[in-house]
Amino acid sequence: MCNFNGMLNRYIVIEGNIGAGKTTLAEKVAKDLGARLILESFKENPFLPKFYSDPQRYAFPLELSFLAARYKQLKSELKQGDLFNNLTIADYYLMKSFIFAKITLSDDEFQLYRQFFDMIRSLSAKPDVMFYIHRDVNILKNNIMQRGRSYEVSIEKAYLSSVTKSYFDYFKEVKDFPVVILDASYADFHQYIHYKQFIGLINKSYPPGVTRVKIV
């Protein structure tokens, strides 16, 4: 366990496109720093495999169920007192639901979804810093194929590109907390040289809005 008194950032979110390596990095950092870990539990979502086989039909229940599950999890785990006393690493942020819904839902479905989203958005805690692992879609596709979740093999590069775009559209709007976009196209956080750079970034102060850092 480390002493968190000197930590500037206590609620740290690691975000990124599908297959960017968020979970692996969040797990390793949390273990090494003795931090509390919040992981997304997408495996329990019964709509996810259905969505990939018939996106139009299942996008709406999928998005609503992700939104409900994430809100519930974050609300119970991120009580203000806990945030002050602990270092917390999460592999997603509530906005992820919105970012995906923007591309998976039709316009009228999205308008309806948005009404629910806006009601709960203000109730969720903001991260002290969000790190976004940015990788080229070819690398993402390769990672997705290698890990071999059967329902993900049909994911196309065009879908991955639209997810990246939806994240970047959102980042343009962020004014109230720092987002650090990590250019990680050539980075492998299993390698100490790259992991060490990330650890060095965790406890820095950043201005609200976007900062870009290249991992070399």
Ligand X SMILES: Nc1ncnc2c1ncn2[C@@H]1O[C@H](COP(=O)(O)OP(=O)(O)OP(=O)(O)O)[C@@H](O)[C@H]1O
| Amino acid found at 92 | Y
Q: Does residue 35 contact residue 77 with C-beta atoms inside 8 Å?
A: no
97 binds ligand X (CB under 6 A): yes
* Percentages (nearest 5) of helix, strand, coil residues in the chain: 55, 15, 30
Query: What is the rounded distance in angstroms from the CA atom of residue 23 to the CA atom of residue 196?
Result: 17
Q: Which of 42, 53, 79, 157 binds ligand X (CB under 6 A)?
A: 42
139 binds ligand X (CB under 6 A): no
Q: Does residue 202 contact residue 14 with C-beta atoms inside 8 Å?
A: no
Residues 6 or more apart whose Cβ sits within 8 Å of residue 163: 17, 18, 99, 100, 103
Give the nearer residue to ligand X in terms of CB position, either 21 or 127: 21
Establish whether 188 is a catalytic residue: no
104 binds ligand X (CB under 6 A): yes
Query: What is the rounded distance in angstroms from the CA atom of residue 44 to the CA atom of residue 24?
Result: 19
Q: Which of 11, 58, 60, 66 binds ligand X (CB under 6 A)?
A: 66
Q: Does residue 201 contact residue 131 with C-beta atoms inside 8 Å?
A: yes
Catalytic residue among 82, 91, 108, 188: 91
Site for ligand X in 166-205 (CB under 6 A): none
Determine if residue 34 is labeled as part of a ligand binding site.
no
The helix/strand/coil state of 3 is coil
Give the nearer residue to ligand X in terms of CB position, either 63 or 128: 63
Give the nearer residue to ligand X in terms of CB position, either 19 or 178: 19
- Applying CB under 6 A, which part among 61-69, 114-122, 171-179, 204-212 lies near ligand X? 61-69
Instruction: Kindly state the smallest distance separating residue 156's Cβ from ligand X, in Å.
Output: 12
210 binds ligand X (CB under 6 A): no
Query: What is the rounded distance in angstroms from the CA atom of residue 37 to the CA atom of residue 81?
Result: 16
Q: What is the token pair recorded at 43? A: 């495996």
Q: Which of 12, 20, 181, 213 binds ligand X (CB under 6 A)?
A: 20
Determine if residue 16 is labeled as part of a ligand binding site.
yes
If you search the block for the tokens 């709406």, which residue do you land on? Answer: 60
Q: Which of 9, 12, 13, 21 binds ligand X (CB under 6 A)?
A: 21
The helix/strand/coil state of 80 is helix
Residues assigned a catalytic role: 91
Known binding-site positions = 16-24
Binding region for ligand X (CB under 6 A)? 16, 18-23, 40, 42, 48, 62-63, 66, 92, 97, 100, 104, 152
